[in-house]
Amino acid sequence: MAVDLHALYPKLIHLMLDTVFVVDINDHIVFVSDACEALLGYRPDELNGTAITRYMHPEDLAATRASIGRVMSGQSHFDFRNRYLRKDGGVVYILWAAFWSEEVGARIGVARNVTALAQAEEELRFLAHHDPLTKLTNRSLFNDRLESALRAAHRHDSQLALLFLDVNDFKRINDVHGHAVGDRVLCVIAHRLESCMRETDTVARMGGDEFTVLLTDVHSRAAISNKLEQIHTIMAAPLGPEFGALKMPLCSIGVAYYPEDGKDADTLLTYADGEMYRMKKHRSVDSEAPGT
């Protein structure tokens, strides 16, 4: 018995997990397969006759229009990605394969939902440059930004400051209260540091209980002194009730200025680290003095 393939094709198209779109020369949808409801949240009858551009993410519209132009000029696309807006307001990432059909007088595209893949890639890119616990900039990205800031400071004959911060007696928190509590304290410190910085400043976790802050466009030592006072004040605030009787640990901060204390990244980091240990030692001596 012969199989009527022409009768079978429409059913096969609607069985596909990917969505098939047929769009006319004026960007209006003339056909869309049933999978569109899972992709965009719309039934086919809601999409047919409407402009496909109204569902495109505004930030991707220009790139998508350029892609459409290439497809309509005869360049088939098999790896174009963009974002669309779902009926419920969500965003979906789509991988397209598309071509222009002179015979039909329309462009035909197959859309695959790659949202999970795009989110995984974005997370990997984020983790490559950020600390997974605190979400702060990590050592690698901080070093890159410091090098860039030093080049800019050299070009414009400007100043910058580098802060090196260490949490005093942090090991005791881990030993007595556990590493989970210690991690939560580090997250509090990270949040508090970020809250008193400008968008142009960079806060990083270098590892363990050590943090660095890059302050660019420094106009005076007084401005840095005020910033240090602000940091010490916010760090002195008590921990939340979820920490019980645990007290907020004190922090020691060392400062290095460009160009006075060094003209390269390693020298500045070493100087700020040394100043931090000097402050920590000074605080330790004060705490051990009689009557303190």
Average pLDDT score over the chain: 91
Please state the separation of Cα 291 from the chain's center in Å: 49
Block residue for tokens 């680290």: 273
Instruction: Give me the CATH topology for the region 5-119.
Output: Beta-Lactamase (3.30.450)
Same fold, 5-119 and 130-288: no
Q: Which of 131, 166, 201, 209 is catalytic?
A: 209
Residue 220 pLDDT: 87
Q: How far apart are CA 272 and CA 279, in angstroms?
A: 10
Residue extents of the structural domains in the chain: 5-119, 130-288
Is residue 209 part of the annotated active site? The answer reads yes
Q: What is the pTM of this model?
A: 0.75
Residue 15 pLDDT: 78
172-227 tens-digit pLDDT: 999 999 999 999 999 999 999 999 999 899 999 999 999 999 999 888 899 999 99
Per-10-residue mean pLDDT, the chain, length 292: 58 85 96 96 96 96 94 88 97 96 92 96 94 96 96 93 94 94 97 93 95 92 92 94 92 95 95 93 58 42
Residue 172 pLDDT: 93
In the CATH hierarchy, which top-level class contains the domain 130-288?
Answer: alpha beta
Residue 210 pLDDT: 96
